[in-house]
Structure 1
Amino acid sequence: MYLKRIITLIAVTLFVQPSFSQHIRKLSKQDLSSMYSEFSFTSFQSSVYHKNDSVSTVYLGVKPDDFSFLPDTLNGPLTARIGVFYELFNDWDAKLPYDTGSIMVTDTSSIGKSLEMIINLDVEITYPSEQILIVTLIDKNKDDKRVSKIIPIDKMNKYGRQNFHLTDESGFSLFGNALGNDDQFRFEYPDTSIRQVFIRYYNKSFSLAKPPFVLEKEETYQFEPDSFFTINLTKGNSPLLELPYDGIYHFQVDLNKPDGFTLFHFTEGFPAVTTPAQALEPLRYLSTQKEYDRLIEYDDYKVAVDSFWLVRASKKPERAKNMIKKYYSRVETANIEFSSFHEGWKTDRGLIYIIYGPPTEVYRKEKEEEWIYGERNNPMSIHFFFSKAENPFSDNDYRLQRSASYKTSWFIAIENWRR
């Protein structure tokens, strides 16, 4: 677990290097499946803050201990050499980035330690605009192994999520939109003339995603806040805050605009699965209604979860452990990658990722994401299409285009988990 954000580097020297994606295909035609791979050597978090009309700061939360540490000279200290490379695209139809840059970060202090390094990149992005940023981390000590992340840039107005910079009580950048009971935070807003921010609190819970063959109307949520608060800003800075209750907290500068930034209080320990009760819920995807009803009747949920997996593993404890590790690793990844207004494992993309695994190929457009399992032109392959939903609480809400044709593949995938 990465406990402390103790290293902050400001990247001020940028130099252009050849882009690994510089070829004739449009960005929307490039396979992006590596971003959901279970086998990446590391992962990283990101956030964006539009500090003014011409410059935006990209914050990266990096785990340096995942990188290789080698002597930089014959008798020199063990050093990680982390390449950070970014590409900016105007839209998904672009074939080449219009801007690229890179830095090299060296680290000698983090070997063997669970520390988080925060790297700040100042990137020239003008208001108003929408861009697509791809950031790639490269292990320069290990055959240039790399991992990439897509970061949509929304600088069309001055009210949305990326106009707020979220930090912890020590001033280090926070990533993601989910906080727990004991997490304290502040935020910064670039317009220092703004003296108040309004908070709408919604105490709502949402149902799990249905199997992909279940045809249903798209849910629309129209509801009133359960509470309403205001907080005062001092020169664009909030006081120290916390989220006391489970639910949705929507922060707005202007109540006449839907835009703002949203924080969520999900289960404790999120995105990880940390309690038997949390481990029990995702079993609904693998169990019949009758089986699940029996599981929730257990007095001890740990016994319920263990018994479920032991049966699936033919009473072989080691196999059960491996199945548990695989399943809940996917649940956690889904929480990290696909959370929107509810936990990632409950979403359509989370459901497909957990049951089917990482897709073989992934393609993105402005309002759509396509996942392919198998070869693209193979008639036996499975294609899932997810449409981006308009949601004031999240820009990560994608809904599956459902079809009865998924029924056979779904039951095969479920049976593979159950035997």
Structure 2
Amino acid sequence: MRTLLHCLLLNTLLFLTGGLQPLAADPRRDFAGQYQPQRRILAETRREGDSLRIYLRFPDGSVLQRGNPLRVAAWASFEAKRPVWRQELRQLANRTRLDKSAAWVEFCVAAASLQPGQVLSMACAPPDEADASEAAWLPITKERLGRTFLVTDSVGDPLLRRYVRLNEPFMLDCYGPERPLVAKRYDSGFNAALPPMANPAAQPVSRTLPARDSVFFRAGQRLLLPQAGLYMLRVDGAPSGYGLLVTDPDFPELTTADELIQPLIYLTTSAERKKLYDAPEPKRAVDQFWLRVAGDNQGVARQLIRTYYGRVTAANQLFTAHKPGWMTDRGMLYVALGAPDAVYRTAAEERWVYRDADGSNGTYTFRPKPSTFAPEHYELVRRPEYEMLWYAAVEQWRKGLTARSGR
């Protein structure tokens, strides 16, 4: 349960803005399941001639052993009511490879049956569950339809993320002849997201990133990037590049004192963070910060730390591209407010809904702003009326109430 103050502030604000609405069954498809990292079905693709090969990783491989076919459907958009086409793939044993408790499935779809702007849904589930948000939902883009290489880990499995760790070996698996590759490193000094009520004019403007250096690789060579930063991989002859962030070895988790202090930007003042950085033992100072927040209750402090940095890790898994996921707009809300209760998508926007026990909703709108480095990047539509909601959420953290509420 959230604090009474937060509920009063939320109700007052939503009443003033016309946003107080009773909970009701919503006819739209809810994509909130896509923001549960441990349950999400991950997908990657590679163009192979006149086909698009699709790789799926099911975190729970047992779903493939329940007698349901893999149901694949193409939709004109996220909000479409009926698919453009639908097909069922049976005899999955020939397409499945187990990976501990998870399982990989791969199959091909005729490229001619897909158009940029469409969305594929894929699930191994009964017919009435196949189109739910727990399915894998894959936007079809021009880049995806044209990319003939796959970024894999060192054993050849699709990487399924836009980052590699420092000195982590990976490979590019090209369809057809192997091609040489150049990896250019760019400045990656991006800032954490501004609060949701910040003036949009104060947002950092887009800029051209200067390349710092380049690494050249032979065709088929195992890749190893020895310096952290933002890279653009360009395969010889490919129509577009592929953005990849090289992170610290423990990413997406945070372990060093500096890493633990940085996400506190959403809860603290610059003076407070400077005091933490300048402390003789910064890591111990971080522990003391959370202990003070918890009113010297060690159990509550441990829960606060688990919750906050657990959300940071999840945001890194979900949203990392040109910068760590916790620094993005969606990552900011994920860390401060938790996973959204409902997510509604269209081609033009994504809406996150947070619901209170009294039946009121707080809604945040994101709009896509893709780039080569971050093809699935979204920016928050900032509004002054979010100020009361934001500070109420920060207050919950600062008073140690988030751990007690379980939110």
TM-score range for the pair, normalised by the shorter chain length? 0.7 to 0.9
* Correspondent of 1:414 among 391, 394, 403: 394
225, 228, 235: which one aligns with 1:243: 225
Say whether residues 1:58 and 2:57 are aligned partners: no
Choose between structure 1 and 2 for higher RCO, CA contacts under 8 A separated by at least 6 residues.
Answer: 2
Give the whole-Å Cα distance in 2 for the aligned partners of 1:34 and 1:374. Answer: 16
Equivalent of 2:191 in 207, 210, 232:
207
Kindly report which structure 2 residues correspond to 1:178-257, keeping only aligned pairs within 5 A, or say none.
Answer: 178-192=163-177, 195-215=179-199, 216-217=202-203, 219-233=205-219, 238-253=220-235
Q: How does 1:278-289 map to 2 (within 5 A)?
A: 278-289=259-270
Moved over 6 A (4+): 79-83
**115-124 vs 283-292, which deviates more?**
115-124
Question: Which of 166, 173, 186 is the matching residue for 2:151?
Answer: 166
Which residue in the other structure is 1:47 paired with?
Answer: 44
Q: State whether residues 33 and 40 of structure 2, in contact with CA within 8 Å, keep that contact through their aligned partners in structure 1.
A: no
Equivalent in the alignment of 1:148: 135
Question: 3-state DSSP class of the match of 1:126?
Answer: helix
User: Where does structure 1 lack aligned partners over 5 or more consecutive residues?
Assistant: 1-23, 70-78, 140-144
Equivalent residues in 2 for 1:33-44, closer than 5 Å: 33-37=32-36, 42-44=39-41
Q: CA deviation at 1:191?
A: 4.9
**Structure 2 letter corresponding to 1:178:** Y
Please tell me whether residue 368 in structure 1 is matched to residue 349 in structure 2. yes
Note closer, same or farther for the CA distance 1:290–1:270 as it changes in structure 2 (3 Å cut).
same
Q: Residues 117-146 of structure 1: CA distance to partner in whole angstroms, max 9, x if unpaired?
A: 32223233328722312233559xxxxx99
- Per-residue CA deviation, residues 353-403 of structure 1 (Å, 9 max, x unaligned), is 11111222211122321112228xx7x522211111131211121111111
Amino acid paired to 1:50: R
User: CA 1:127–1:232 in 2, change beyond 3 Å: closer, same or farther?
Assistant: farther
Number of the residue aligned with 2:109: 123
Deviation track 1:163-196 (CA, whole Å, cap 9, x = no partner) reads: 321223322322212111231111123353x743
Give the TM-score of the pair, scaled to structure 1.
Answer: 0.76
- Aligned partner letter, 1:252: R
Q: Deviations over 1:222-277 (max 9, x none)?
A: 122111344343xxxx31111111111112246996x2112110222222223343
Query: Cα deviations across residues 4-31 of structure 1 (Å, max 9, x unaligned)?
Result: xxxxxxxxxxxxxxxxxxxx96xxx422
Tell me the residue number matched to 2:309. Answer: 328
Q: Distance in 1 between matches of 2:112 and 2:142?
A: 8
**Aligned with residue 299 of structure 1, among 267, 280, 288:** 280
The answer for the alignment partner of 1:319 in structure 2 is 300
**Residue 364 of structure 2: aligned partner:** 384
Other-structure match for 2:291: 310
CA RMSD of the aligned region, Å?
3.3
**How does the TM-score come out when normalised to structure 2?**
0.78
**Tell me, what secondary structure is at the counterpart of 1:179?**
strand
What amino acid sits opposite 1:87 in the alignment?
A
> What's the counterpart of residue 3 of structure 1?
none
Structure with the higher strand share, 1 or 2: 1
3-state secondary structure, aligned to 1:213: coil
Aligned to 1:353: 334
Q: What are the Cα deviations for residues 266-302 of structure 1, in whole angstroms up to 9, with x where unaligned?
A: 2222222233432221112111222111111123232
Q: Which amino acid aligns with 1:56?
A: L
Amino acid at match of 1:392: T
Residues 30 and 343 of structure 2 are in contact (CA less than 8 Å); yes or no, is this contact kept in structure 1?
yes
Q: Show the counterpart of 1:12.
A: none
| Residues 320, 149 of structure 1: alpha-carbon distance in 2 compared, 3 angstrom cutoff | farther
Cα pair distance change 1:184/1:36, threshold 3 Å: same
Relative distance call for 1:386 and 1:59 in structure 2 (3 A) is same
Deviations 1:306-341 (A, max 9, x none): 111111111111111111111112111111111221
CA distance in 2, matches of 1:115, 1:164: 27
Structure-1 separation of matches of 2:307 and 2:42: 22
Distance 2:133 2:325 in 1: 25
For residue 94 of structure 1, what is the amino acid of its counterpart? A
- Whether 1:401 aligns to 2:376 is no
How far apart in 2 are the matches of 1:119 and 1:275? 37
Q: CA deviation at 1:415?
A: 0.5
Moved more, 301-310 or 91-100: 91-100
Cα distance in 1 for partners of 2:32, 2:72 equals 18
The match for 2:30 is 31
> What residue is the counterpart of 1:136 in the other structure?
123
- Secondary structure of 1:226's partner? strand
Report if aligned partners of 1:138, 1:147 keep a CA contact under 8 Å in 2. no
Identity %: 25
Between the two proteins, the alignment pairs up a number of residues equal to 362
Give the superposition deviation at 1:350: 0.3
List alignment gaps of at least 5 residues for structure 2.
1-25, 127-131, 400-407
Note closer, same or farther for the CA distance 1:321–1:264 as it changes in structure 2 (3 Å cut). Answer: same
